[in-house]
Structure 1
């Protein structure tokens, strides 16, 4: 899946400091609701239900909270770069500072796997995660996530 076809630079949040997992989920739900025109409560509930199944912290300071939602027509991606890491019960027990909120239309079983795979592949490319952590503006983060590597 091509991240550049899903990601809108206006949906990249930088220098956030939620302080806790609960506050982070609230931030994600509120920000996504504003961007999508959907219910903040519905988004929050979907995220909490998914987190209850198991952590979305994949290790290396990265989490990919994701859920499916009624009323969503296409996959939605919102990268959030945290100023201070948050505990997310990640598989490596490391706190998270790169969060990739991913929302999908109800019934879409393929896009979540493709997008999560694309995100992890991109983050495994040399320098991408570090560039995101140091990004001062959304354009820098967008470029890091969407431009082909020079390998």
Structure 2
């Protein structure tokens, strides 16, 4: 699975001003609403319902929130980089600043799981995480996924 195919430039946001997990998830929902033409409140509700089952914070400052949302015909993604990390109840208890969110149609099964596995594998790379943190523009972030996705998601 090529991670770059899931992500459009409009689905990448470099953002400050978030001070809690809920605000971070709201930023993800807002980004998804704008990039994927989804209802922001419905996306936020779906993300919060999934988080209630267990944190999607993977560790090393990374979270991969995900939800099934009506109105999609395929798995899609948004990426939000927070200016300041927020407490997120991650596996390693470290705050999160890199959020790669996945959204799937309700009937997506294996495709959603493959995307989740590919993103999780890619985000385990210390080099990729550091480059994502250092990238200055949305285009620079997108280029990292285009360049790195095939090698890390294979």
The CA deviation at 1:124 is 3.2
1:127 alignment counterpart: 127
1:143 paired with 2:143, answer: yes
1:11-50 to 2 correspondence within 5 Å? 11-50=11-50
**Whole-angstrom CA distance in 1 between matches of 2:112 and 2:133:** 24
Instruction: Determine if contact 1:16/1:80 at 8 Å carries over to the other structure.
Output: no
Structure 1 equivalent of residue 77 of structure 2: 77
Q: Contact conserved, 2:12 with 2:31, CA < 8 A, in 1? A: no
> Paired residues, what number?
149
Structure-1 separation of matches of 2:141 and 2:30: 21
Give the alignment's Cα RMSD to 1 decimal.
Answer: 1.4
Which TM-score applies when normalising by structure 1?
Answer: 0.91
Q: What do the CA deviations read for 1:53-102 (whole angstroms, capped 9, x no partner)?
A: 00000111100000001111111111111110011100110000100111
**DSSP-derived class of the 2:7 partner:** coil
What is the alpha-carbon distance in structure 2 between the residues aligned to residue 123 and residue 47 of structure 1? 19
Aligned-partner SS, 2:15: strand
Normalized against structure 2, the TM-score is what? 0.90
Deviation at 1:126, TM superposition (A): 5.3
- Segments of 5+ residues of structure 1 without an aligned counterpart are none
Q: Contact conserved, 2:3 with 2:115, CA < 8 A, in 1?
A: yes
Secondary structure of 1:131's aligned partner: helix
1:18 Cα shift? 1.1
Matched, 1:102 2:102: yes
Distance 1:96 1:130 in 2: 13
Q: Secondary structure at the match of 1:93?
A: coil
